[in-house]
Each structure stands twice: as C-alpha cells, then as structure tokens.
Amino acid sequence: MIYPCILSGGVGTRLWPLSRPDRPKQFLPLFGGESLFQKTCKRVRRAGFAAPIVIGSNAQRFLIGEQLSELGLEANSIVLEPVGRNTAAPALMAALIAAETDPDALILLLPSDHLIQK
C-alpha cells in the first residue's frame, strides 16, 4: 500500500497579493474551481493508495478540514506543525504514522502547491 503524505504547510508568499497567510496559494481555487491541495488529494484517491496523511500548519487546520470535506475525503491523519521546518520532519512523521499500520508501507511525499496536468 502507498501512503501519500501531502505537504501543505507553506504560506505562499510568492503569489501575493492573492495568497495571504490566512489563505495560502495551495488552498485557493485557481484552477477549475478547485485548489491545488484538492487536486493533489484527488490524484491519490484510487486503488493502491491509503487515505492521505496531511501535514500542515496549525493556522491551516480549518482550511485542510474544509477542503477535505468538500471532496468527501477523510485523511488517514492530519499533523499540525507548530513551526515549519521544511521536508525532513514531515517525511519522518509520515513514515512513523504509516509504519503503525503497515511495516512495509511505501511513502509518497507530495507538495500540495504544484499543478500537474495529464
């Protein structure tokens, strides 16, 4: 089983003024009425993938919950970082969470602010 870990803690400062600390770019409905976060979640909603592990900031907890709910998707886990520390800590957290259920789990780290077409 593949355990997707969606990294969504960024604040999107490079897309200002659209992106703000309270509504970073990955949560904005910029493409077809969906956010990049939602598009990322939908990419791994298929056979062979476990429910996603979402890692974000405490300030984004409501955005994460709302956008998962809009998709009718439930996360495996939602981990809220008190302070963003790049990718290593979220990768370790995802591995520990997945290993609790499946010691042979594969982890797929996915940034939530990338647009992937076709």
Domain boundaries, the chain: 2-7+16-110
pLDDT of 30 reads 85
Give 108's strand partners.
4
CA 68/CA 39 separation, integer angstroms:
11
Structure-model confidence comparison of residues 49 and 25, the more confident one: 49
pLDDT tens, residue by residue, 41-99: 999 999 999 999 999 988 888 999 999 999 999 999 999 988 877 889 999 999 999 99
pLDDT of 18 reads 67
Q: Which amino acid is at 10?
A: G
Whether the per-residue pLDDT at 15 is higher than 70: the answer is no
In 41-100, at which residue ranges do the beta strands (DSSP E only) sit?
A: 53-57, 77-81
Sign of CA dihedral 74, 44, 109, 14: negative
Give pTM, 2 decimals. Answer: 0.89
Give the class (CATH, top level) of 2-7+16-110: alpha beta
pLDDT band at 6 (very low <50, low <70, confident <90, very high): very high
pLDDT band at 9 (very low <50, low <70, confident <90, very high): confident
Mean pLDDT of 3-8: 94
pLDDT of 28 reads 87
pLDDT of 10 reads 75
Q: Which amino acid is at 40?
A: T
Please provide the average confidence, as pLDDT, over all residues in the chain.
88
Assign residue 6 a region (left: φ > 0; alpha: ψ between -120 and 50; beta: otherwise): beta
